[in-house]
Amino acid sequence: MIDFETHPSRYRHWRLSLEPPVAWLTMSVAEDAPIAPGYRLKLNSYDLGVDIELADAVARLRFEHPEIRAVVITGGRDRTFCAGANIHMLATSSHGFKVNFCKFTNETRLAMENATAYSGQRYVAACNGTAAGGGYELALACERIYLVDDGSSAVSLPEIPLLGVLPGTGGLTRLIDKRKVRRDLADVFSTLPEGVKGRRAVEWKLVDDLIPRSRFTESVRERALALAAEDGPQREPIALEPLAPEVTGEAVRYRHVELALDRGARIAELTVRSGAASDWALRAFRELDDALLRLRFHYDDIALVLVKTRGSIAQVLATDSAAGREVLLLMARVLRRLDMTAKSFFAVVDRGSCFAGSLLELALASDRTYMLDDSDVRIAIGVLNDGALPAFNGASRLALRNVEAREGVFDAAGALEAELVTAVFDEIDWEEELRVAAEERASLSPDALTGMEANLRFPGAESMETRVFGRLSAWQNWIFSRPNATGEHGVLSLYGKPERPQFDWRRT
């Protein structure tokens, strides 16, 4: 079982070095420590284990090290920045694992951009050698990209010519959307196996500057210090304590969150309890985040997640009011992780529930919300529902439903009237209606549901983030499922083997 928790003291693949206000995050992948047996992580190539450490570092820097204002990502191997995702790992993984791996790495890179934009921790890629494929995509997630000027080091996206798949970790999208590389040059670049180096890399906007090897580190440090000197939010350090859930065959139990699994029915219950502790919001949403990752990677047969809450509406609204900036940013990211999780989510508003404020967002993010018509059952709009926890495109989840946020408590009739819930049932019908809805959902084609949810969950304006997940990832998933890539004679399957790939040449 993959563990998504780690700590700098246990990193195998990264070195985190703090020189406030700059942090150096150095990739030095241990070849012999893949997350699963069967391949070696050569040339600073990465797998999920490497990226779990990166995600941990990005999160810890934000919470535990507010004194850090710039983060330099560089390569710890001579003349190599990063060779991208390990191809043997990809070639030998199931379709589902490939898709979930790409999703996670995409989310990590978005977290770097989120830290740059909102936490005053500016990411800088110091490409001390060639940045290839996912290696260059890692650099693309940084605000600045510096390339060593040594006559040989290049940036490249060789996936299409060498592997028959896309640079799917945001590569194509960030080229044209973020760096504004002209689309015809992006086309040339994305089909050149050797990539682009030197002056042309700057002219094409692929990197921000070239730096000679002799003063590479020093020059990167100066530039990082200059970024670190710019204005940013003042914050206090917050420790990220271990979550260490108790895992059994039927459940994953955290302090405030429980994930209960009915493997036979392919239905899970995800319950969040309110709490009075000052760290409740941080802890509960970190637990939710971990539970979502486990749902994706460990419980791929689960079709439907019933989202429940237990506790006090007043308590949730009170802890919401005290939530600090970095905690709010985390909560929003976790909700967006839910948007991107290929499971159906039905929120269940029943007796003892507390769908208010931040927890109401869980219902608004769900595909449907069912509410019991009972005088004891209420939901509440609070201060965090008015844009503090933005969805993928910057809008509040209420705004995405065209509902005006007005703080207040709603009974079932009021919630239906305010367009906050999908359906209301009284005590007599409640259990049967829920049972039928859940069973029907779990009986549908899992692929069709994934496609439907990937469309309906993203109404309104698009952002770079939605374009990475909606457009780029959807095409990549298609390509991953096609014989030209993953068939017996597909180019990804045959990578590193003497046999030449055989293509079905029909363009579709």
**Min. distance of Cβ 109 from its own copies in angstroms?**
16
- Can you spell out the DSSP letters for 25-93? EEE---TT--SSSS---GGGEE-HHHHHHHHHHHHHHHHH-TT--EEEEEESBTTEEE-EE-HHHHHHS
- Give the number of residues in contact with its own copies, rule: CB under 8 A: 86
Q: Which residues contact 365 (CB under 8 A, 6 or more apart)?
A: 335, 338, 339, 345, 391, 397, 457
DSSP SS3 for 349 = strand
For residues 311, 312, 315, 320, the Cα torsion angle rounded to the nearest 10 degrees is 80
CA 178 to chain centre: 18
- Write down the least CB distance from residue 473 to its own copies, Å: 9
Q: Is 359 in the site for its own copies (CB under 8 A)?
A: no
Select the residue interacting with its own copies from 368, 405, 416, 495 (CB under 8 A): 368
Q: In this complex, which beta carbon is closest to its own copies, that of residue 68 or of residue 155? A: 155
Please report how close the Cβ of residue 49 comes to its own copies at its closest, in angstroms: 21
449 phi/psi in degrees, rounded to 5: -65, -45
Q: Which of these ranges, 23-31, 122-130, 272-280, 441-449, lies near its own copies under the rule CB under 8 A?
A: 441-449
Q: To the nearest whole angstrom, how small is the minimum distance from the Cβ of residue 206 to its own copies?
A: 14
Separation of alpha carbons 104 and 95, rounded Å: 14
C-alpha span between 403 and 482 (Å, rounded) = 42
Greatest Cα pair distance, the chain, in angstroms, is 77
Q: How far is the CB of 234 from its own copies (least distance, A)?
A: 35
Q: Which of 267, 472, 493, 494 binds its own copies (CB under 8 A)?
A: 472
Q: Does 200 bind its own copies (CB under 8 A)?
A: no
Nearest approach in angstroms of CB 328 to its own copies is 23
Say how far apart CA 99 and CA 476 lie, in whole Å.
8
When the beta carbons of 224 and 268 are compared against its own copies, the nearer one is 268
413 is a contact residue toward its own copies (CB under 8 A): no
- C-alpha atoms less than 13 angstroms from C-alpha of 28 in its C-beta half-sphere: 12
Contact status: 165 vs its own copies (CB under 8 A) = yes
Residue 205 Cβ, how far from its own copies at the closest point, in Å?
Answer: 11
> Among residues 122 and 336, whose Cβ is nearest to its own copies?
336
Residue in 161, 198, 387, 414 binding its own copies, rule: CB under 8 A: 161
187 binds its own copies (CB under 8 A): yes
Question: Can you read off the two tokens belonging to residue 130?
Answer: 């060639």
The footprint of its own copies on residues 71-130 (CB under 8 A) is 95-96, 99-100
Site for its own copies contains 176 (CB under 8 A): yes
CA–CA separation, 310 and 352 (whole Å) = 5
Considering only residues 147, 348, 438, 485, which one is a binding residue for its own copies as defined by CB under 8 A? 485
Stretch of residues binding its own copies (CB under 8 A), selected from 223-231, 278-286, 406-414, 442-450: 442-450
Among 3, 5, 177, 433, binds its own copies (CB under 8 A): 177
- The pair of structure tokens assigned to 17 is 């070095």
Site residues for its own copies, window 300-339 (CB under 8 A)? 300-303
- Cβ-contact 433, 380 below 8 angstroms: no
